[in-house]
Amino acid sequence: MIRGNVSKMKLEEALLLYVDMIEGGVEPDKFTYPFVLKACSLLGACDEGIQVHAHVFKMGFEGDVFVQNSLVNMYGKCGAINCARNVFDKMDDKSVASWSSIIGAHACAEMWHECLMLLGEMSSEGRCRVEESTLVNVLSACTHLGSPNLGKCIHGILLRNISELNVVVETSLIDMYVKCGCLEKGLCVFENMSEKNIFSYTVMISGLAIHGHGKEALKVFSEMVEEGFEPDHVVFVGVLSACSHAGLVDEGLQCFKTMQFEQKINPTVQHYGCMVDLLGRIGMLKEAYELIKSMSIKPNDVIWRSLLSACKVHLNLEIGEIAAENLFLLNQSNPGDYLVLANMYAKMQKWDDVAKIRKKMAENNLAQTPGFSLIEAKRKVYKFVSQDRSIPQWNTIYDMIHQMQWQLKFEGYIPDTSQILLDVEEEEKKERLKYHSQKLAIAFGLIHTSEGSPLSITRNLRMCSDCHTYTKYISLIYEREITIRDRHRFHHFKNGTCSCKDYW
Ligand SMILES: *[C@@H]1O[C@H](CO)[C@@H](O)[C@H](O)[C@H]1NC(C)=O
Ligand SMILES: *[C@@H]1O[C@H](CO)[C@@H](O)[C@H](O)[C@H]1NC(C)=O
Ligand SMILES: *[C@@H]1O[C@H](CO)[C@@H](O)[C@H](O)[C@H]1NC(C)=O
Ligand SMILES: *[C@@H]1O[C@H](CO)[C@@H](O)[C@H](O)[C@H]1NC(C)=O
Ligand SMILES: CC(=O)N[C@H]1CO[C@H](CO)[C@@H](O)[C@@H]1O
């Protein structure tokens, strides 16, 4: 009965049955506990789980591998990672399921490095047979760490070990590939799937969106509808953000209508966020502001932030100030927001206002987050911080930057100094622009990778428009494909153009 109730998700009832059983003097056996613990784990009931653990100990089942696995699972789901680890470390006979449980527990706690370490330990103990569920957890570790090479290894293990991958595993593979920058590989897995569900479509559509392939995302979406899947609100977030990343205004507006009036889905704050982004990027700032005013729910800080940054791109101080005011009512802790506004004032030469904002930041104890870029070369990851000249190979990088500068000038590149906030001479501004972290990373990449090989860079902040233009020229002059990932999306530079088509 306990098992039956657990499988029907009547979890509290299952626990009460267990209590009845104890009170009625019926002695549990080792088959009782996995179900009782599963109920605790699904309920996230850590305190009850600990009590059941005590019973397990008193009854003498603490050495049973099934009970131990259930304990590891339960502690993992409850977020008690140390307790999970304790049980696991004391196990004499670890089964495949035990490894799955402990890896799953670390995945729940978002301890991604540990997931990968455990997979390594597991295979070094000769446990080569792996469960799909374990690998799904490890795949999400790769996704979070942005490591496509490890992800490819896992894909290899899967292909060698499992004759037919199920739809859940394939969907995690797609998610891993697209988020690690390998869109082509993700598409390959997607197209090869024998069975797709709404999650696979959603993952593929959002993947195409972050890579700026709006038209393709819409194509996959219509394929999904033709296959008879009911689109839900999550898919629409993907579709709308695809339109926004690719500047497809008409399509985006159309989808937003379809969603509300045909699918009867009430827009959430995320849908509005995409629409504000879409209208804002293309310069329809009034329309974006009107949309916010018409919202049936309260706009959050994300929405105002996206309007503010659109106002910065299109230099509209009037709406920008409204956006900033509303934003600061909701959130005063993000230095980037102040800088966006200060930037607009700087562009308009309103240095007094710039100073006011700097003062406000100082009062709120907010410092500008330094921009950094990471680049992988020679199997190592190198970090570059903007304006940081204390790096070991500074001289070679300095020479390279100057060589690049010459070539760029020759091709017609003009530095865009409008983003520099300081009230200093034009020459000084140009000098600062040269040493943005992304440029340092590119210079390093050009020196230390073989000719023609692609460069892949991850950065913490959004790219400035000068770095964007600069990288387009570099991809043309040096014939390199350059992929830049920031917190929101990917930019693929090739032959002088960027996949974002300058909407970003
Ligand atoms: C759940 O437990 C109740 C008793 O509390 C029992 O009547 C019912 O049949 C159980 N449900 C299942 C699906 O086993
Ligand atoms: C696609 O599936 C076929 C057979 O089902 C297989 O031979 C091929 O290697 C798969 N391609 C990819 C990229 O997975
Ligand atoms: C403010 O914004 C930052 C950055 O987006 C976020 O991390 C933080 O949680 C927000 N704070 C509030 C109170 O919403
Ligand atoms: C690069 O772009 C130019 C036009 O901008 C085009 O003529 C040329 O064929 C492109 N080269 C490659 C390799 O795609
Ligand atoms: C059961 C099985 O096929 N196991 C294989 C899984 O993949 C690893 C790594 O390639 C092999 O060593 C195992 O033999």
pLDDT at 128: 57
Query: What value does the mean pLDDT take over residues 253-274?
Result: 94
Q: How far is the CA of 192 from the centre of ligand 2 (A)?
A: 6
Who wins on pLDDT, 178 or 424?
178
Element holding 176 (H helix, E strand): helix 167-179
Ligand 4 pocket, 495 CB below 6 A? yes
Summarised one tens digit per residue, pLDDT across range 166-212 is: 898 899 999 999 988 889 999 999 999 999 999 999 999 999 999 98
Q: How far is the CA of 272 from the centre of ligand 4 (A)?
A: 38
What tokens were used for 260? 């509300």
CB under 6 Å to ligand 2: residues? 188, 192
Atom of ligand 5 nearest to the CA of 156: 10
pLDDT at 52: 96
Atom of ligand 5 nearest to the CA of 130: 6
Considering only CA atoms, which residue is closest to atom 14 of ligand 1?
A: 4
Q: How far is the CA of 37 from the centre of ligand 1 (A)?
A: 17
Considering only CA atoms, which residue is closest to atom 7 of ligand 4?
A: 495
**Lowest-confidence segment of 204-208, 363-367, 379-383, 397-401 by average pLDDT:** 379-383
pLDDT band at 504 (very low <50, low <70, confident <90, very high): low
Q: How far is the CA of 299 from the centre of ligand 3 (A)?
A: 14
Ligand 3 pocket, 300 CB below 6 A? no
Q: Do 276 and 300 contact (CB within 8 A), yes or no? A: no
Using DSSP, how many helices (H) and how many strands (E) does the chain show? Answer: 26, 6
Considering only CA atoms, which residue is closest to atom 9 of ligand 4?
A: 495
Ligand 3 pocket, 333 CB below 6 A? yes
What tokens were used for 284? 């329809």
pLDDT at 455 > cutoff 70: yes
Which numbered ligand comes closest to the C-alpha of 480?
A: 4
Which numbered ligand comes closest to the C-alpha of 161?
A: 5
Q: How far is the CA of 1 from the centre of ligand 1 (A)?
A: 5
Q: How far is the CA of 130 from the centre of ligand 5 (A)?
A: 8
Summarised one tens digit per residue, pLDDT across range 209-254 is: 999 899 999 999 999 999 999 999 999 999 999 999 888 999 999 9
pLDDT band at 343 (very low <50, low <70, confident <90, very high): confident
Atom of ligand 5 nearest to the CA of 161: 3
Considering only CA atoms, which residue is closest to atom 10 of ligand 2?
A: 192
Which numbered ligand comes closest to the C-alpha of 187?
A: 2
Who wins on pLDDT, 259 or 119?
259
Q: How far is the CA of 391 from the centre of ligand 3 (A)?
A: 32
Summarised one tens digit per residue, pLDDT across range 111-156 is: 877 887 888 788 777 665 677 778 888 888 888 777 777 788 788 8
Which numbered ligand comes closest to the C-alpha of 158?
A: 5
CB under 6 Å to ligand 1: residues? 1, 4-5, 8, 10, 13, 17
Which numbered ligand comes closest to the C-alpha of 338?
A: 3
Considering only CA atoms, which residue is closest to atom 11 of ligand 3?
A: 331
pLDDT at 460 > cutoff 90: no
Residues 6+ apart with CB under 8 A from 223: 201
Q: How far is the CA of 202 from the centre of ligand 3 (A)?
A: 27
Q: What is the DSSP letter of 261?
A: I
Residue to probe by mutation, ligand 1, list 3, 10, 11, most atoms within 8 Å of CB: 10
Atom of ligand 2 nearest to the CA of 192: 1
Q: How far is the CA of 117 from the centre of ligand 5 (A)?
A: 18
pLDDT at 464: 85
- Residue 406, number of CB atoms within 10 A of its CB: 9
What CA–CA distance (Å, rounded) separates 473 from 496?
A: 5
Any idea how long the chain is? 504
Q: How far is the CA of 4 from the centre of ligand 1 (A)?
A: 7
Element holding 381 (H helix, E strand): strand 380-385
Atom of ligand 2 nearest to the CA of 194: 5
What CA–CA distance (Å, rounded) separates 436 from 430?
A: 11
Which numbered ligand comes closest to the C-alpha of 300?
A: 3
Element holding 375 (H helix, E strand): strand 372-377
Q: For residue 220, with 0-12 CB atoms within 10 Å meaning exposed, 13-18 middle and 19 or more buried, which class applies? A: buried
Q: For residue 333, with 0-12 CB atoms within 10 Å meaning exposed, 13-18 middle and 19 or more buried, which class applies? A: exposed
- Residue 234, number of CB atoms within 10 A of its CB: 15
Atom of ligand 1 nearest to the CA of 7: 13
Summarised one tens digit per residue, pLDDT across range 16-54 is: 999 999 999 999 999 999 999 999 999 999 999 999 999
Considering only CA atoms, which residue is closest to atom 13 of ligand 2?
A: 188
Q: Partners of 372 in the beta sheet?
A: 385
The pTM assigned to this predicted structure is 0.76
pLDDT at 387: 87
First CA to last CA across the chain, in angstroms? Answer: 56
Query: What value does the mean pLDDT take over residues 435-448?
Result: 94
Considering only CA atoms, which residue is closest to atom 7 of ligand 3?
A: 334
Which numbered ligand comes closest to the C-alpha of 128?
A: 5
Considering only CA atoms, which residue is closest to atom 4 of ligand 2?
A: 192
What CA–CA distance (Å, rounded) separates 336 from 235?
A: 30
